[in-house]
Amino acid sequence: MDVLIWAILVVVFVIVEIATVQLVSVWFAAGALVTMISVYFFDIPIIGQLGIFILTSSVCLLITMPFIMKKRKEKGYIPTNSELEIGKTAKVIQEIDFDKGTGRVTLDGVDWSAVPENGEVIPNGSIVIITQVNGAKLTVKPKI
């Protein structure tokens, strides 16, 4: 029965890996496979099975991590859309006042909600620098 459970886990982890394409469960699939083979040949208690699974998955992760990190460096880091906005300048189209809960800026033709970085009031028409993106709200500071 234990062999069947580990076989099912191997299949589940492989399906998850194929579905995500993010290298999230390949190590668990390898750990489950080694555990399944071990349980097939030897009578191992459940604690031992979990130990084999954890140890094998960890070793696989440690062995492959340097290769993964090297590949990521070769490809270069690609920032997300929100990270691309940080450091850009925008124009205030509605006075930014944290206490009143007001503030709108336009960035590349798109209207955004904005809050001041230091709680200061930033008047309409000012040019600001984006310091952070939180969902659909920009944190800004005046351009000096």
Domain boundaries, the chain: 2-75, 81-142
- Give residue 25's pLDDT: 87
Determine the average pLDDT of the residues in 9-32.
Answer: 89
What pTM was estimated for this model as a whole? Answer: 0.52
Answer whether residue 10 shows pLDDT above 70. yes
SS3 annotation, 46-91: HHHHHHHHHHHHHHHHHHHHHHHHHHHHHHCCCCCHHHHHCCCEEE
pLDDT in tens, 98-132: 888 899 999 888 889 999 988 889 999 999 999 98
Find the length of the chain: 144
User: Which residue, 48, 44, 68, 67, is CA-closest to 56?
Assistant: 48
pLDDT in tens, 60-71: 999 988 887 787
C-alpha 56/C-alpha 140 separation (Å) is 48
Q: Quick one: which H or E segment has residue 37? A: helix 26-41
Determine the average pLDDT of the residues in 67-96.
Answer: 76
Q: Which CATH class is domain 81-142?
A: mainly beta
In 7-136, at which residue ranges do the beta strands (DSSP E only) sit?
89-97, 102-107, 110-116, 127-134
* Contact of 93 with 111, CB cutoff 8 Å: yes
